[in-house]
Amino acid sequence: MEIQRNISEFILLGLSDDQNIELFCFALFLLCYIVLMVGNLLILISVRCSSLFNQPMYYFLLHLSSIDICYTSTVTPKLIADLLVERKAISYSNCMLQVFTMHFFGGTEIFILTAMAYDRYVAICKPLHYMLIMKRTRCNLLILAAWTGGAIHALPLFTTAVSLPFCGPNEIDHYFCDIFPLLKVACTDTYITGVLVIAFSGMVALVTFVVLSFSYGIILFTLRNQSAEGRRKALSTCWSHITVVVLFFAPVIFIYLRPPTTFPEDKVFALFYTIIAPMFNPLIYTLRNAEMKNTLRKVWCHSLLSK
């Protein structure tokens, strides 16, 4: 325990050493974070205050927006603040907390995306039994399973991080605390630990991505038997989901499904699943969804007129 507590804080090296680049990134990521928060809050309020709340797809979207807000808020505010200071420090306890919350909310998001894919599969492949299969009780069970899966995914990684001995140096070549950068600065042989992280974290992402790809493949194959209008509407929804899945999973698989090491490019790829994908989620699900756009107009126009 003395070795573990030999370091009371870590120094994050951040995205760049160039102050001009950091100022540009500050403006860019502040804008991204504002867009992310406003967009997801609009979805939360609009779905909750409309009849869409009773539809399974939008019920899952409500939870996805909630997760996106929590997930990106574990990293982005700290990143934005650090871009304005030279010394980017994070305490040991906050670093460990960041490891847990990142993987907890990230794992939960993965399983909610899986639940949304299942919902689309039932809606398109078994339309006559859709409301019977996707009852609110089953939806709640799927959401509970997603949160439980997120916790099961995060706890071993958190336990691994907490058990690592740190005796110096304490510089992490990243903009947030994650398991691979921590393994790099631990003062012990971490090869076996790294392999276990890949087996647990990387394989979860890969298997989930394969399952999602297979399910959307079945959905797209089934659409060939539908009318042109039904195919157009279903494709609009499915392509939105597929875009979100690719934006999130591609960089995650690149980082976690490889030998336990770190590269400078990791920070750029991590931006996709910590900031960019959560920011695009509300844009993709609203701008490409006529039902969602109509609901936004009704809810907010009614709210403004009532004032």
Query: What pLDDT, on a 0 to 100 scale, did the predictor assign at position 173?
Result: 87
What are the residues whose beta carbons fall under 8 Å from the beta carbon of 287, sequence distance 6 or more?
293
Distance of alpha carbon 282 from alpha carbon 42, whole angstroms: 9
Could you read off the pLDDT of 101-120 as tens digits, one per residue? 999 999 999 999 899 889 98
1 has pLDDT over 50: no
Query: What pLDDT, on a 0 to 100 scale, did the predictor assign at position 45?
Result: 86
227 has pLDDT over 60: yes
Query: What pLDDT, on a 0 to 100 scale, did the predictor assign at position 37?
Result: 92
Query: What pLDDT, on a 0 to 100 scale, did the predictor assign at position 306?
Result: 57
Lowest-pLDDT range, 8-22, 208-222, 259-273?
Answer: 259-273
75: closest CA among 216, 284, 298, 272? 272
Split at pLDDT 50, 70, 90, the class of 2 is very low
Distance of alpha carbon 302 from alpha carbon 133, whole angstroms: 34
Query: What pLDDT, on a 0 to 100 scale, did the predictor assign at position 300?
Result: 66
